[in-house]
Structure 1
Amino acid sequence: MTPAPIIETKRLILRGPEAADFEPIAAFYADPERSMGFGGVLPRDQAWRWFASMIGHWHLRGYGFWTITDKSDCTALGICGLWNPEGWPEAELGWIAFPQAEGKGIAFEAATAVRHHAYTVMGFTTMTSNIVPGNTRSIALAERLGAVHETTYDNINMGTEHLFRHPAPADLA
């Protein structure tokens, strides 16, 4: 299996997913408003399958979602990472902030660190964030990260999505 490297920021440690991370993922997928940007509500068994596929993505693609944790107490605050299931146009940068992490800049800090890692360590040269219409918080975060709306397309898994293009590595230097 491809292990997730550890990424540290000022307040966070991003690490590979662990079994204990499933409970907040299950809670996320049980909430209609929160899960809307990731396909909507899933029953617990289907949330488990999504969680397991998230782990398997590391092995198949060599990248995936990290669990965002608080550096001071290791509390899981969300997930952030690179996702590219079969049928998608290219890898995307995605994020989920669990309720206790919302409004604190956690997702921004994690997404900035993941994008930097993808560009400087993994050799990515381009990156998108695919966001369902109406997910205003994710759209605002993508724009705060400097991503611009490029197109709207039909995502094979999610239906209509807005594709936001992140600045290229040279544009961030």
Structure 2
Amino acid sequence: MKYLLETERLRLREFTLADTAFIVELLNTPGWLQFIGDRNVRTDEQAVNYLQNGPLKSYADNGYGLSLVEKIDDSKAIGMCGILRRETLEHPDIGFAFLPEYNGKGYAYEIASATLTYAKDKLHIPKVSAITVPDNARSIQLLEKLGLAFVKPIRLPHSEEDLLLYCN
């Protein structure tokens, strides 16, 4: 298994089609549904489609994308983190999500901080943005702790949802 990066407690690796069960679990957690949105991924087949048209396509098109976060001590998949390229944003953006039982343990900061360093040093992406819904206080707190600053409220094309744009 090739890892993109490793921190004290975590490793980041590209998703594979073997990760479908984890994708179904993560994308249906209350936090994902509330703050990111329902992606209608309930079956392994839908998870394969999500992976092929999301992370795997992004790796092929951009050389980076959302990746699986696992704990080093037991190789348990606990979340995702990575850099996305959206045509609607000026700069690539960082995204992250974790299974609820791993929230509040510092994992998100640990891997997101390392991901920002990886984006700058390895991917040569000098500026990274982030978007979040206004009521996701934990995400906003993490973005600010990572050194990203609020820029302005935005709305992505074909969306009715107001978002907050952050940038480093």
**TM-score band w.r.t. shorter chain:** 0.7 to 0.9
> Would you identify which runs of 4 or more consecutive aligned residues in structure 1 move more than 6 Å?
none
Q: Does 1:104 align with 2:105?
A: yes
CA distance 1:70–1:33, change in 2 (3 Å):
closer
1:31 and 1:41 in contact (8 A); partners too: no
1:26 maps to: 24
1:32 and 1:41 in contact (8 A); partners too: no
TM-score, normalization by structure 2 = 0.86
In the alignment, structure 2 segments of 5+ residues that lack a partner are none
Letter in 1 for 2:72: K
Offset of residue 88 of structure 1: 3.2
CA separation in 1, counterparts of 2:123 and 2:41? 34
TM-score, normalization by structure 1 = 0.84
1:169 maps to: none
Query: Alignment partner for residue 164 of structure 1, among 140, 155, 166?
Result: 166
> What's the Cα RMSD here?
2.1
Partner of 1:67, secondary structure, is: strand
Partner of 1:39, secondary structure, is: coil
Offset of residue 20 of structure 1: 3.5
2:84 and 2:95 in contact (8 A); partners too: yes
Partner of 2:162, secondary structure, is: strand
- Report how many aligned residue pairs link the two structures: 164
Letter in 1 for 2:49: R
Alignment of 1:77-92 (within 5 A): 77-92=78-93
More displaced stretch, 31-40 vs 4-13: 31-40
CA distance 1:90–1:50, change in 2 (3 Å):
farther
Offset of residue 43 of structure 1: 4.0
CA separation in 1, counterparts of 2:9 and 2:60? 28
